Chain A
């Protein structure tokens, strides 16, 4: 049962992701992205990490994507086709070779994954706990990874400055 659910959601993710890049309308792309994120959240639930699932829904599917939608609507960018540069047709050869490359990478990764010599992560009770319980996550985040957490704040600060620099009208 579990495995079938996994494949179902995985398929949804792949399909939705293809939808994101395949759509001409930005609005549709964003909606597909939300779908993809939702399915990803389902996978997290399956992997016994409800916290990650919730965070995924609230932050990505909720906050960020809604913001995206607003931006798309405000900019009134209806179709990519309006962009003269993007309308130029992509030659078939390029498409084919791109697909082949992606396929090749897929084959490589699959092959590598099938050749794993030993069980990946040793599963013990504690580690299983640590991903499932919010309490554990909080503890790890603010002890072991406290410094990384702080660095993230610097990262966000830089991103903010960057956004301001690039976006503000008058220099």
Chain B
């Protein structure tokens, strides 16, 4: 049953990969969507069955076969559905399905076999992502982990004739490999320490240990995993690939680089919650990196002009929030935010895709403006998404973001709370900057057109006469076609209501999602029996310093309620303030923005150039490696020796005689010399020792 969930997208991939080129667009696209829909259906049924189980026993294991088994090393290919995996499954298949549907329209201009190639990648991605989510041990998770990386790489570089796209693909790949390396080493170390790779078995083994107050093996393992997570989930210092990844098709950005794959790191930490809980030092690192990333990306997002890049930095920033939650031990809150974020960020990416689609590929917000009337569906759904991410009460983002900030404060990390709140302000500002630049104000796009906009008719007619307008067809901006509009609307609804599964106690809710997820973050029941209905969570209890995040265990105490309400009001105020600032600067007095940029040009430049982090990496890491491998090793060892010999420099062969004669080139002497040196060294090594 569980195996069917990733199986269907995989079948879709196989069909589209093998015979997709012979299928019409409707067939190959429909097939891919159908695969996702069926997978979603199975996921729902499985989830339903999971809900039918008693709370502590909500685990469905399904072992397909023993993958690797030798001696004490056992790694069965097991899928496991528990509350955490179930939630993720629904997100991946549900949102994945919507994005597939959206893609059928968005990618419609591709040729038939490109179209099939696109959908085969997308389906393959979904299959790997589901394997990642459902894997019951680290090794199975790693299959998915590598697989989604591969698909992401292929999809970023999907438009391979664009140099920037291939470069971005490469960058994503290289950066991810750094993280993957740490992940593999961590995995080996985990196996060496616990003798197993099964998540529950590790949790059970760790639960018996005391939290590691000083640096030790648990901290090392968790830190290695976290480095892996920073690669996949775009955190400092490995976040640089994600903004560039926007070179891929927009639906891909929505699915992979916003809603699902990039959250894999967060998910992985959630999966290993018990392990992380026992490594408070790593937890601190996670929290600090998380909030630092959130803040940094937020500031960069303020100054970007590419609509997708703003969203990309916003994604990095929101992922930072999730890591902050993980770092302070509020695992459920982090996953909750992951879940709501998937809705509104996918929505906004798809919305931006609709804008780009309507403007025939224009991504620069300075060349947009005034699209509100032309693209009403896009506008309203996008607005809902922006309100949600800004944390306006009543929408999903409000509940999850608030939960994180409250937990951060409650666990005693007041500095982190301040930074997190500052990020919230930034979020509201840059999101509404985006809205105002794109949808409000005067149209600035090329051949900005008439249609619904009476005021600009004259101007546009002139433009038309000059032939600057380049729209095909009627020349009217199209709002999203049905296949794009329906996913937008559904996601917008999701962005509103998704949060209601986690209404905090302070607002009279019962935070059901937290209760629901809690068993996934606790060690298996037989080692530490969970007390029903409470947050008996050893995981959180370790946060060495300060108040426990489980404070509201038995219905919040009065003080906690007051605190939570206070914080909530603060953050609502912050969000509204952010929106207000954005309104003031970019809607009411557009010149203020320019003036501000002119007043502190260095600041503006710094933000626009993303704090020069790319340049820093290039100068300190990329160039030296490139130089040493091309100049040092390749030129020195290979070209210098071999090609140099063949080209006939110096005393090497110059003759043109064929066959053996030429083969007696000097290069063989050099090979022999290297051999000789090697031998002398080997023997010397023995003798000197």
User: Within the complex, are A and B direct neighbours (CB within 8 Å)?
Assistant: yes
| Chain A interfacial positions (CB closer than 8 Å to B) | 83-86, 88-91, 94, 97-98, 101-102, 104-105, 108-109, 111-112
B645 to chain A, nearest CB (A): 11
Please determine whether A112 and B655 come into contact, CB atoms closer than 8 angstroms: no
Please determine whether B654 and A108 come into contact, CB atoms closer than 8 angstroms: no
CA–CA, A102 and B652, complex, Å? 22
Q: Given the known A-B contacts A91-B650, A105-B683, are A84 and B673 also in contact in the complex, defined by CB atoms under 8 Å?
A: no
Please determine whether A90 and B676 come into contact, CB atoms closer than 8 angstroms: no
What are 6 A-B pairs with beta-carbon distances under 8 A? A85-B655, A85-B665, A88-B652, A88-B654, A90-B651, A91-B650
Please determine whether B657 and A85 come into contact, CB atoms closer than 8 angstroms: yes
Which residues from A are CB-within-8-Å of B651?
88-91, 94
Which residues from B are CB-within-8-Å of A89?
651
Give the nearest-CB partner of A101 in chain B: B676
The 6 closest A-B pairs by CB, nearest first: A84-B655, A85-B655, A88-B651, A85-B653, A108-B683, A105-B680
Please determine whether B654 and A84 come into contact, CB atoms closer than 8 angstroms: yes
Q: Given the known A-B contacts A83-B655, A85-B654, A88-B651, are A98 and B673 also in contact in the complex, defined by CB atoms under 8 Å?
A: yes
Interface residues as binary, B648-670 with A (CB distance below 8 Å gives 1, 0 otherwise):
00111111010001101110000
Which residues from A are CB-within-8-Å of B665?
85
CA–CA, A108 and B673, complex, Å? 17
Given A85-B661, A85-B662, A86-B664, 9 additional A-B pairs, CB 8 A: A83-B661, A83-B664, A84-B657, A85-B654, A98-B673, A101-B673, A101-B676, A104-B680, A108-B687
Which residues from A are CB-within-8-Å of B676?
101-102, 105
CA–CA, A102 and B673, complex, Å? 10
Which residues from A are CB-within-8-Å of B677?
101
CA–CA, A91 and B657, complex, Å? 23
Is B684 at the interface (CB under 8 A from chain A)? yes
CA–CA, A140 and B518, complex, Å? 78
- Chain A contact residues: helix, strand, loop or mixed: helix
CA–CA, A13 and B683, complex, Å? 25
A129 to chain B, nearest CB (A): 34
From B661, B664, B666, B684, A108 is in contact (CB under 8 Å) with: B684
Among A84, A91, A97, A102, chain B packs the most CB atoms within 10 A around the CB of: A84
Which residues from A are CB-within-8-Å of B470?
none
CA–CA, A101 and B651, complex, Å? 20
Is B679 at the interface (CB under 8 A from chain A)? yes
A113 to chain B, nearest CB (A): 11
Which residues from A are CB-within-8-Å of B657?
83-85
Give the nearest-CB partner of A108 in chain B: B683
Please determine whether B673 and A85 come into contact, CB atoms closer than 8 angstroms: no
Which residues from B are CB-within-8-Å of A90?
651
Among A85, A90, A104, chain B packs the most CB atoms within 10 A around the CB of: A85
Please determine whether B662 and A112 come into contact, CB atoms closer than 8 angstroms: no
CA–CA, A102 and B675, complex, Å? 12
Interface residues as binary, B582-595 with A (CB distance below 8 Å gives 1, 0 otherwise):
00000000000000
Please determine whether A105 and B654 come into contact, CB atoms closer than 8 angstroms: no
Interface residues as binary, B619-663 with A (CB distance below 8 Å gives 1, 0 otherwise):
000000000000000000000000000000011111101000110
A112 to chain B, nearest CB (A): 6
CA–CA, A101 and B670, complex, Å? 13
CA–CA, A130 and B665, complex, Å? 46
Which residues from B are CB-within-8-Å of A109?
683
CA–CA, A112 and B662, complex, Å? 39
Q: Given the known A-B contacts A85-B665, A105-B679, are A111 and B654 also in contact in the complex, defined by CB atoms under 8 Å?
A: no
Which residues from B are CB-within-8-Å of A84?
654-655, 657
Give the nearest-CB partner of A97 in chain B: B673
CA–CA, A102 and B653, complex, Å? 24
CA–CA, A88 and B649, complex, Å? 10
Question: Considering the complex, which residues of chain B in the window 402-438 have a beta carbon less than 8 Å from any beta carbon of chain A?
Answer: none
Give the nearest-CB partner of A88 in chain B: B651
CA–CA, A109 and B651, complex, Å? 31
Please determine whether A111 and B687 come into contact, CB atoms closer than 8 angstroms: yes
From B664, B679, B683, A85 is in contact (CB under 8 Å) with: B664
Give the nearest-CB partner of A103 in chain B: B680
A148 to chain B, nearest CB (A): 26
Question: Considering the complex, which residues of chain B in the window 300-325 have a beta carbon less than 8 Å from any beta carbon of chain A?
Answer: none
Which residues from B are CB-within-8-Å of A101?
673, 676-677, 680
CA–CA, A113 and B58, complex, Å? 72
CA–CA, A84 and B656, complex, Å? 9
CA–CA, A108 and B676, complex, Å? 13
Which residues from A are CB-within-8-Å of B683?
105, 108-109, 112
Which residues from A are CB-within-8-Å of B664?
83, 85-86
Give the nearest-CB partner of A112 in chain B: B687
Which residues from A are CB-within-8-Å of B654?
84-85, 88
CA–CA, A101 and B683, complex, Å? 12
Give the nearest-CB partner of B656 in chain A: A84
Which residues from B are CB-within-8-Å of A104?
680, 684
B485 to chain A, nearest CB (A): 70
B648 to chain A, nearest CB (A): 9
Which residues from A are CB-within-8-Å of B650?
88, 91
Give the nearest-CB partner of A86 in chain B: B664
B672 to chain A, nearest CB (A): 10
Give the nearest-CB partner of A166 in chain B: B660
B677 to chain A, nearest CB (A): 6
CA–CA, A89 and B655, complex, Å? 14
Which residues from B are CB-within-8-Å of A85?
653-655, 657, 661-662, 664-665
Which residues from A are CB-within-8-Å of B687?
108, 111-112
CA–CA, A86 and B669, complex, Å? 12
Which residues from B are CB-within-8-Å of A112?
683, 687
CA–CA, A94 and B676, complex, Å? 13
CA–CA, A68 and B379, complex, Å? 91
Which residues from A are CB-within-8-Å of B680?
101, 104-105, 108
B136 to chain A, nearest CB (A): 53
Which residues from A are CB-within-8-Å of B653?
85, 88
CA–CA, A91 and B655, complex, Å? 18
A100 to chain B, nearest CB (A): 10
Which residues from B are CB-within-8-Å of A86?
664
A75 to chain B, nearest CB (A): 12
B685 to chain A, nearest CB (A): 10
A20 to chain B, nearest CB (A): 17
CA–CA, A107 and B687, complex, Å? 11
CA–CA, A19 and B160, complex, Å? 62
CA–CA, A150 and B495, complex, Å? 81
A88 to chain B, nearest CB (A): 4
Give the nearest-CB partner of A105 in chain B: B680
Which residues from B are CB-within-8-Å of A108?
680, 683-684, 687
A60 to chain B, nearest CB (A): 24
Give the nearest-CB partner of B672 in chain A: A98
A80 to chain B, nearest CB (A): 10
A35 to chain B, nearest CB (A): 25
